[in-house]
């Protein structure tokens, strides 16, 4: 059986990967997340995901390593994780009533052979118009902390979202359908349970 390692400390990604019925270890990547100054955001986010996968592959030395990086993009500006509640409120004020994109770079690498697959998944998200009291109340829950765009669609943040166009799981942080396609290239099929 092929060993699988998730190169992320994110509890959300861990939970999502468990949904596919895979057994895996978790080894957090040490790669510093930075996308600033890039003209090719999709290319940069794929490169970052691959760097995370390679960092962990170099340490585990065997099996497949899965890595991802997710950002929120609005009018050309990247919304990462807010540094404090004030920044979270500001992000939500800007996104309120608007459409933004959630973009995830996804990488799978075989630690022994170096074979890799790298993809980028985009989802358009429409946030409903929020009142100041709703923004204050949501930020007070602490949920926006450590979340790109200052919200968690899988939590209370679901109440902020009017509609999405694309993969829901991408917005959570791990596009499962695309990941399943990529794992097929490594002879792992999560539906037929064929794991060689």
Q: Which residues are catalytic?
A: 69
Please list, residue by residue across 171-187, b when 16 or more beta carbons sit within 10 angstroms of its beta carbon and e when fewer do.
Answer: bbbbbbebbeebbeebe
- Please state, in angstroms and as integers, the Cα–Cα distance from residue 143 to each residue in 14, 82, 146, 155, 161, following that order: 18, 11, 8, 8, 15
- Please state, in angstroms and as integers, the Cα–Cα distance from residue 39 to each residue in 71, 78, 130, following that order: 15, 12, 31
State how far the Cα of 170 lies from the Cα of 178, in Å rounded to an integer. Answer: 9
State how far the Cα of 73 lies from the Cα of 124, in Å rounded to an integer. Answer: 10
């Amino acid at each position: 059986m092929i060993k699988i390692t998730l190169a992320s400390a994110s509890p959300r990604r861990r939970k999502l990967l468990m949904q596919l019925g895979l057994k895996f270890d978790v080894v957090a990547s040490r790669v510093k997340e930075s996308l600033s100054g890039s003209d090719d955001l999709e290319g940069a986010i794929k490169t970052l995901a691959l760097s995370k996968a390679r960092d962990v592959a170099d340490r585990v030395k065997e099996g497949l390593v899965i890595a991802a990086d997710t950002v929120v993009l609005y009018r050309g500006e990247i919304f990462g994780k807010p540094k404090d509640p004030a920044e979270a409120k500001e992000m939500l004020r800007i996104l309120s009533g608007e459409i933004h994109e959630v973009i995830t770079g996804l990488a799978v690498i075989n630690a022994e052979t170096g074979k890799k697959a790298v993809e980028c998944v985009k989802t358009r998200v429409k946030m409903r118009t929020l009142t100041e009291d709703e923004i204050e109340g949501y930020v007070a829950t602490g949920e926006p902390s450590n979340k790109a765009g200052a919200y968690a669609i899988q939590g209370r943040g679901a109440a902020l979202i009017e509609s999405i166009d694309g993969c829901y799981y991408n917005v959570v942080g791990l596009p499962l359908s695309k990941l399943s396609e990529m794992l097929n290239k490594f002879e792992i099929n999560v539906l037929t349970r064929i794991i060689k």
